[in-house]
Amino acid sequence: MIRLYDLRLPLFPIDPKNVKFQIKYYKELFPGDTNLSGIEFVAYIDMVTRSRAALGDSMIVDIKTSGKAFDSTPGMLSLDQQLRSYAWVTGVPDVAFLNFIKTGRSIDRGDQVSVLENIQDGLKSFFAGESAFVAAYEEDELAPPLVYLLKHESDLDAMKDAQGYKNGKLEQTKAAKERKIAFLADNCVRADARLVTKQKIQFVNAHIGLEEQLEAAKIIGHDVSKIVYANQENFWPKEGGIRFPNDKCVRCQFRGNCLQNSQLRDNLVYRTDEEWDAPQADSEEN
């Protein structure tokens, strides 16, 4: 993944020589309100850099790991509340997700991969960072596994056409397999499988206008107001759920408290602070 990131970095619309990591920003939520003065929203921004596409303006980048790519529909990213909040607290409207997409390590025919080093096979080649499609995968106990790479996904269909069909299925006769082998030799780049990866890196960016930023600030303000009220009234309502997608109670480590199940509570959590360890910890108050 790091090798792939190094190859992809020059292609991102940011200045890699002008990057700061984990920068703290804060902004007062209720300026002018004497009852709520001093309450601040704090954000730690993963990456603050410059945009190469916007004449060097600042850009906020949040780094994620995921099992799949984010929706890259134009404008979709501007709906994300986290990025909206970051744009508001920093005053920087250009935002992005740098998404490290984790996949399995096994490689099969049809997989899309990225080439990690320049590969030359006769007159055919791939440059480091290029995408390719796996036409075949070979394993040998005495040598590293091999992959046969094609430039385009449509070439996989061309390989099947060369092998031929019989009764709606790929033909498996000796002649058909020989045609497939000939196609691989003529069209594929053969390479060490360790020089390719199925991992992917996605960079998607958006512009979040002032109206969207202020809307994010109002949402934050509403949430904080509820916390302030709960603190004043000493009333902390449960806002749980047990059904997907709001099934946070099923995963919550403190569910033993809400269920008044002391055995489950003790299995999930423990306290080590001095007050809890003191003799009075057994009192009803504690």
* Helix (H) or strand (E) run with residue 85 in it: helix 81-90
Closest residue by Cα to residue 42 from 59, 31, 28:
28
pLDDT at res. 273: 73
Q: H helices within 164-254, ranges in order?
A: 174-187, 210-233, 248-251
Count how many residues are written for the chain: 286
Using alpha carbons, select from 83, 119, 85, 84 the residue that is nearest to residue 98: 83
Whether pTM > 0.85 for this model: the answer is no
pLDDT digits 0-9 by tens, 223-247: 999 999 999 999 988 889 999 889 9
Question: Which residue is it, tokens 């410059």?
Answer: 50
Q: Which residue has the tokens 């992959």?
A: 147
Q: What is the pLDDT of residues 162-186, one digit of tens each?
A: 999 988 899 999 999 999 999 999 9
Please answer whether residues 135 and 159 qualify as being in contact, where contact means their C-beta atoms are separated by less than 8 angstroms.
yes
Domains within the chain, CATH numbers bracketed: 2-103+200-225 (3.90.320.10), 112-197 (no CATH), 239-282 (no CATH)
